[in-house]
Structure 1
Amino acid sequence: MTSSISDSVAAIQVSCKQTRFQIESPNYRELDIDGLNITVTASLPAGATKAKAKAASRSTGLEILTDATLRLKAGERYALVGRNGTGKSTILRAIAEKLIPGIPEETRIAILQQTNDGADGALAAANRRTVLEEVIERATAKDELEQEILTLSQGMDTTAADDSSSDAYATLRALRKLRLERLQKRLFVLDKNARLRSGARGMQARKALTALEKTVAEATASWQQDDSDITAEMLHAETQEAADLLADLQIQAEPARLAHIESRAKNILKGLGFSEVMATTKAVGDLSGGWRMRTALAAALLSDADILLLDEPTNFLDMLGILWLQKFLLASSERTRSDDTTSGEPGRPPPTIVLVSHDRDFVSAVACHLILLQDKAVTYYTGDLPSYEAAQAESRQHLHKLKDAQDRQRAHLQETIVRNMREGKKNNDDTRIRQAKMRQKKLDDRWGLETNAKGHRFKLNRDMAGFHHTRRAEIEVPPEARAVHISLPDPPDLRFPGALISLEGVCFRFGAEKKTRLPPPPWTLDTINLNVHEGDRIGIVGLNGAGKSTLIRLLVGDDAVTASGQVQSSTRPIKSTVTMHPRLRLAYYAQDAVDAIRALGGDSDSSRDDDAPLTALGLLTRDVDGKLQEGDLRALLGELGLPGRLASDTPLRRLSGGQLVRCALARLLWQRPQCLVLDEVTTHLDYETNTALRRALRTWPGAVILVSHDRWFMRGVIEGAVDDEAGSSSGDDGNGSDLDDGIGKGLGGRNLVYRLRAGKLTLLQGGLQEFEDQLEKRVEKLLQL
């Protein structure tokens, strides 16, 4: 624990505005920090000094925030919004590890990180805790409490023994050992404070650290003291102190309280998709990465945190889990936890929630405030993401109109100034000359905004008080962030009509090839009928484990090229057949496409002559094997958002998740397929890239088969919805076509949503909304448990 946090202190350099007169807020459930600077540097050696850390941050550091303001109000729900690579996860980590000066140590902070499944999974594999045990231990530190009780109990039992194993000093040594362990934990906190603070506050922190170091040294010497040096009075007093402390700890570990916590943990695990058998018998070390992340999420939700930080909590959840989490966060935030007589715990106010998620519907439903991270600064907006985008578009349009009108007025004034000066000098007319000079003075000194920030008429002495201000601010239209654009190549003509893919009466189950006397397992896919034609948009929804990936593997067949560049090994049906158009080019994006490419770029490719790190262009060049020229490959990568040196010079291991998705799509699209099969393609994409891909797929003439838990993305690609995109009007796709007629009138084909459940594929006449309505009823039942 110490080393990991120390590494964080070295890798994340944080400073903020503080004075020696600053008094920390008594409300430790909220943050109010000005002048915040966060820089990420390479981890330094253990003995590196603070001066070396600052020098490293200045020379090689990546600035995340510069002179920013971080304000979190108690009990509010925030969404941290920004593009991939802007430092959202770094900010959450700095808050969670209390690297920011001014965060009180008594503040309880729980965090779900995107990388929570690494060391935590290894720890769980070592001690073989079940899922339920791991969640309770993480949320309540129950193991630490039980270990302290065990240490004191063993000491007292040894002292009270009647046989030769009795030791009168065992209780005293157990108490002193416990004291030393607690002091060492406190020493770690003070050491971190001394690292983070400077000036008068830093001097005070270093004095406190020095004083505690002496106390720790004395406690160490006391614990190692010989029995002969311990007086009878010391023995009696400390033995009684140990008995009192043990009684207090046992009250904290009261069975009724732990039973209440266990009941809450079971309900949370059930809402996240764990069955009771899986939660109580399955070891965390035996879980996959996705289930370990759900375990970490359950622990964060169970904890009584003052500030709850969630980094991509929906990544490994199906739609039922996303809806449950959405309702759970709203319920826990909108009501104060009442006193519970069963647990004996006083009611605690709702936590302050900060979440990072690329699921627009989830963010819009949960967050009341947006923290917008852009250009190393943060701005705040009260409302959801669609409201913010609409307000920004409206404000920008209004400022454009003001600026255009003012530019026309300026041109008119300049024209009259020139004319009046010419006519005044020609006719010796002082009035015209004086009028021209007054107008010129207005242009020079009083030209600018005619209204203030509240929309009222501008007054210099009120809105720009101070004798040094003589010129109003110009009307400046804030520049739009560079839009993300994705262009998909048009598919070639099939030459003769027919269904692209046809499944008729297909049945499949696992283990059918094994001949046993046991009854056969249930059908994973039972009598599936599905036809895909040119221009169709087919969405497949269902819960995790329903068989969606199995259906996709069966559907793509033997000849589908995956995003990992390999031919997909098919899953063959047991009954009936799968037929494909003889000229069909089909491309398949699998869930693990990004991980596969990341593994390829993990080190230098030994198969290359120059032994250089593998880049996106190099990977695509190897895939096409001379079938396309480098210029064509660069054009394709550029259309997908990997232009120039980013494609040819940046190693794969340095690309973000969203950029790796683009690389994976390039590996599919260079063959210009007529049908794209996409399985969870949005997992690593930010809002802008997600929107660009959604728009590109909606207007692409080929067929799309999509499996996704992202409701917003599914509505746009499959159902053609555009009313929730920034700058678009409801019911219009931008080309004059009316989308209010519902599903079934897509671009050149059908728009269909199917649900896969219990092996059956059912067409949802009401589309995705019908599936959401069905899940809402299940969520309500889960929340009532």
Structure 2
Amino acid sequence: MTSMTSDSVSAIQVSCKQTRFQIESPNYRELDVEGLNIAVSAAPPPGTTLKAKGKAASRNTSLEILSDATLRLKAGQRYALIGRNGTGKSTLIRAIAEKLIPGIPEEARISILQQTNDNGEGADAKANRRTVLEEVIERATAKDELEQEIQTLSKGIDASTADDDTNDAYAALRALRKLRHDRLQKRLFVLDKNARLRSGARGMQARKALTALEKTVAEATAAWQQDDTEIAADALQAETQEAADLLAELQIQTEPARLAHIEARAKSILTGLGFSEAMAATKAVGDLSGGWRMRTALAAALLSDADILLLDEPTNFLDMLGIVWLQKFLLAGSEGSGTDDSTAGGEPVRPPPTLVLVSHDRDFVSSATDHLILLQDKGLAYYTGDLPSYEAAQAESRKHLHKIKDAQDRQRAHLQETIQRNMREGKKNNDDTRIRQAKMRQKKLDDRWGLETNAKGHRFKLNRDMPGFHLTKRDAIEAPTEARAMHIVLPEPPDLRFPGALLSLENVCFRYGVIKRNQEPPPWTLDMVNLNVHMGDRIGIVGLNGAGKSTLIRLLVGEDSISAGAGGQARIKPTKGTVTMHPRLRLAYYAQDAVDAIRALDLNNQDEAPLTALSLLTRDVAGQLTEGDLRALLGELGLPGRLASDTPLRRLSGGQLVRCALARLLWQRPQCLVLDEVTTHLDYETSTALRQALRTWPGAVVLVSHDRWFMRGAIEAEVDDVAGSGSDDDSSDGDEGVEDGPSGRKLVYRLRAGKLTLLDGGVQQFEDLLEKRVKKLLAS
């Protein structure tokens, strides 16, 4: 069975095994699909036509995501989908959301937040005119559609029961038949999709269902258009009563108490995600920026009454307060709005949905989920527990396997030596017994050498653990050689030749806008900020969205920095105070919009050949580095071989574009890295490798990030028990910081109301403050 989306840049092809038990399962919050295969093929260029012989070529150009995998979700569980960038996590959850996987019933309510949301560019004019609160409620409940049905039935019933000249006895009947016709048309669309997307036995069944429904739709159309004189009196009476009953049923769903409860929950969710009450009630969706649109979409997904909730990178546009709130909300489940009532608007509270979460924020994933789904090697592996527990278990397993393998290798070498000696002596002395004994031992080495324990940890027995005469060999011990998947080495910075601060802010004040006569001046975005950055320093800056962190960074780097992103931003200067920079400083600045800037370069590319990571970097270096040097740098960052030279930028994932942006910075060998939200889109393995590299790099680092785990490791030099190299360092305990080896000072500042304040307790102190605020939000 094959499914494909045709109206997208990439076509998703899906096939799987299916049984009647899975098809008929009444629990829409569970999935159990075996033999799942998913591939993505690029859509042909505009103007090209597919030939009959093109199927083989299409298969060759398809990227296989899953092969013979098992997708298993249990009702009410919270899963984190983990995998490297480009492995297909977003493709998998999109296939689930669009019900392309055979076996997912159409009745299942699935809500999804995607990394790239169409709301805004692809939204209709009516949606853009709605306020944020109205849009969230509409997307979560289809309120407008329900009210339209009520209005249609109400007009018909009122006209049929009127006592004046406007009385139309057939109005209620026609309204009911029109409603039936419209609902059948929607159902027809679903069945038509099923018939086109499925093949084989289930495809035949879907086409039969479609044919039957087409007949029903034709009958409903004829009934709706039937002349009044042809309608029997008993049918008129029965259908008029049915219209009244249906209207009463729909009106129950729009009772003021229920709608008030939904609106209260929507307001609570929007507040938790950073919307003010005035913004939610008055701001039109069409006037929102991309980040706020994504928050609106996230609020609608959380408010929806879904069986399965799919969240793809929900923390990308949230500050640390929003991240902490979201993890508490997901843990609270159906009680997330803060209410302790067992009913919602007179109805019982539904059990929490099954959650599948894609996020590279390790602290968030570990707190919000209790199961892992690992997408690797085109398969899905499952683990009960959080990410640190999984890594600890993997490390222990590797250590155990290495120990067993070393012991068996020594034993095998000893046996091999004994066999050879017995064979020599047996042939020399014509001792058949010794020769036979040596051959038996050789057979054991060849056929029955490997793991001594089964999957349950018991002693291995061939007739129990490998039944069947054809299975004679045990599994060989495969001990992985490396604990970490990636290792990044940052280039050594050149000497400055003379000492001094790399960057310095002295009594800097800044405000946006122009002071007009007889009006209050705009508030200070930055107010008397002082900051010094020396070689080896680690400076972290935390704060909520809108606090002015990016403004502070832009003032700090000026216009002479080597930047990734920020291409459309004009240079800003301090309103008061001075900004100084070391005259020999090489500064690399990673801006928040680095990925968008690279995508814009790709879209504006006028060359015939598509722009790739290698060609973009070649253009940047202008002959200062060889192609071999550039390939080595890109490979070090996770863009090796043909991925760097042959894959167009538009085909790269967000995490791969982050690596490309980092390569554009690092080839210059900077002495100071200023990173503004660099972990957005990065998978956890790359984040781990970058975190470790920043911790030991001798240059200076200024980091703005909402990723608590990354900030602790890169700035405060926190070392995980499993993560590996490095040592725990003491965090700073004063304004001057503590000199700690080559890393220099380790300071975390909080920016709030224009003031930059040193946090003695570092990231943990900031997180504790946010925890208190979140408790108040959830209790309100």
The aligned residue for residue 316 of structure 2 is 315
Of 763, 769, 772, the match for 2:767? 772
Report if aligned partners of 2:23, 2:105 keep a CA contact under 8 Å in 1. no
Output aligned runs, 1:62-77, within 5 Å: 62-77=63-78
User: Is 1:444 matched with 2:454?
Assistant: no
C-alpha deviation, 1:738, in angstroms: 4.2
Matched residue, 1:388: 390
User: Structure 1 residues 738 and 683 mapped into 2: Cα distance closer, same or farther (>3 Å)?
Assistant: closer
Separation in 2, partners of 1:671, 1:59: 39
Query: Aligned partners of 2:199, 2:581: CA distance in 1, in Å?
Result: 70
Distance in 2 (CA, whole Å) between partners of 1:410 and 1:327 is 54
Q: Alignment partner of 1:29: what SS? A: coil
Report if aligned partners of 2:329, 2:336 keep a CA contact under 8 Å in 1: no
Kindly report which structure 2 residues correspond to 1:711-726, keeping only aligned pairs within 5 A, or say none.
711-723=708-720, 726=722
Q: What amino acid does structure 1 have at the position aligned with 2:562?
A: V
Q: CA deviation at 1:435?
A: 2.8
Aligned partner of residue 203 in structure 1, secondary structure: helix
Q: Which residue identity is paired with 1:778?
A: R
1:182 aligns with 2:183: yes
Q: Which moved more, 1:267-276 or 1:189-198?
A: 189-198
Deviations 1:711-761 (A, max 9, x none): 11111111112215x442xxxx43xx4425667436341010000001110
What displacement does 1:181 show? 0.8
- The one-letter amino acid paired with 1:267 is S
Displacement after TM superposition at 1:601 (Å): 0.7
CA distance in 2, matches of 1:481, 1:100: 34
CA distance in 2, matches of 1:322, 1:409: 53
Query: Does 1:660 find its partner at 2:680?
Result: no
Deviation, structure 1 residue 25: 2.1
Q: Distance in 1 between matches of 2:209 and 2:587?
A: 67
Indicate if the aligned counterparts of 1:34 and 1:68 stay in contact, CA closer than 8 A. yes
Select between 590-599 and 205-214 the one with higher mean Cα deviation.
205-214
Aligned residues: percent identity?
81
Query: Quick one: distance in 2 between partners of 1:642 and 1:53?
Result: 30
Relative to structure 1, is the Cα distance of residues 60 and 239 closer, same or farther in structure 2, using a 3 angstrom cutoff?
same
- Greater mean deviation of Cα atoms: 199-208 or 662-671: 199-208
Range with bigger deviation, 441-450 or 581-590: 441-450
Q: CA deviation at 1:335?
A: 9.2
Query: What is the distance in 2 between the residues matched to 1:55 and 1:208?
Result: 31
| Structure-to-structure mapping, 1:597-612, within 5 angstroms | 597-602=598-603, 605-606=605-606, 611-612=608-609
Distance in 1 (CA, whole Å) between partners of 2:632 and 2:66 is 34
Question: 1:91 offset after TM fit, Å?
Answer: 1.1
Aligned to 1:139: 140
The answer to whether the 8 Å contact 2:120/2:286 transfers is: no
C-alpha distance in structure 2 between counterparts of 1:527 and 1:229, whole Å: 84
Report if aligned partners of 2:493, 2:670 keep a CA contact under 8 Å in 1: yes
- Matched with 2:530 is 529
Shift of 1:559: 1.5
2:409 corresponds in structure 1 to 407
CA contact (8 A) 1:719 1:746 kept: no
Residues 213-612 of structure 1 aligned to structure 2 (within 5 Å): 213-332=214-333, 340=342, 343-477=345-479, 483-511=485-513, 513-564=514-565, 569-602=570-603, 605-606=605-606, 611-612=608-609
- Given candidates 750, 755, 764, the residue that maps to 2:750 is 755
Other-structure match for 1:112: 113
Q: What TM-score does the superposition give when structure 1 sets the normalisation length?
A: 0.92
One-letter amino acid matched to 2:550: S
Q: Is 1:676 aligned to residue 673 of structure 2?
A: yes
Change (3 A) 1:22 1:678: closer
Q: Which residue of 2 aligns with 1:623?
A: 620
Q: Give the residue type in structure 2 aligned to 1:534.
A: M
1:125–1:284 contact (8 Å) kept in structure 2: no
By how many angstroms is 1:20 displaced? 5.6
Q: 1:208 to 1:9 in 2, by over 3 A?
A: farther
CA distance in 2 between counterparts of 1:580 and 1:203 reads 72
Matched, 1:80 2:81: yes
Aligned position for 1:206: 207
Cα 1:159–1:266 change in 2 (3 A) is same
Per-residue displacement from partner, 1:9-39 (whole Å, max 9, x unpaired)?
Answer: 9932222212467662232221111111222
Q: Which residue of 1 aligns with 2:195?
A: 194
Shift of 1:488: 2.0
Give the secondary-structure state (helix, strand or coil) at the position aligned to 2:372.
Answer: strand
Q: Aligned partners of 2:479 and 2:247: how far apart in 1?
A: 66
The question of whether the paired residues in 2 share the 8 Å contact of 1:720 and 1:746 is answered with no
- Which ranges in structure 2 are unaligned for 5 or more consecutive residues? none
Deviation string, structure 1 residues 646-687 (Cα, Å, up to 9, x no partner): 333332222222222222222222332221111011112111
Distance 1:26 1:636, change over 3 A: closer
| 1:67 Cα offset (Å) | 1.2
SS at match of 1:713: helix
Aligned length: 768
Please identify, of 689-698 and 194-203, the stretch whose mean Cα deviation from structure 2 is larger.
194-203
774-783 or 464-473, larger mean C-alpha shift: 464-473
1:122 and 2:123 correspond: yes
CA distance in 2: counterparts of 1:618 and 1:205, whole angstroms: 48
Question: Are residues 1:739 and 2:729 paired?
Answer: yes
Q: What displacement does 1:277 show?
A: 0.2
Bigger drift between 557-566 and 570-579 goes to 557-566
SS in 1 for 2:124: helix
Q: What letter matches 2:133 in structure 1?
A: L
Root-mean-square deviation (CA), in Å?
A: 2.9
Q: Is residue 37 from structure 1 mapped to residue 37 from structure 2 by the alignment?
A: yes
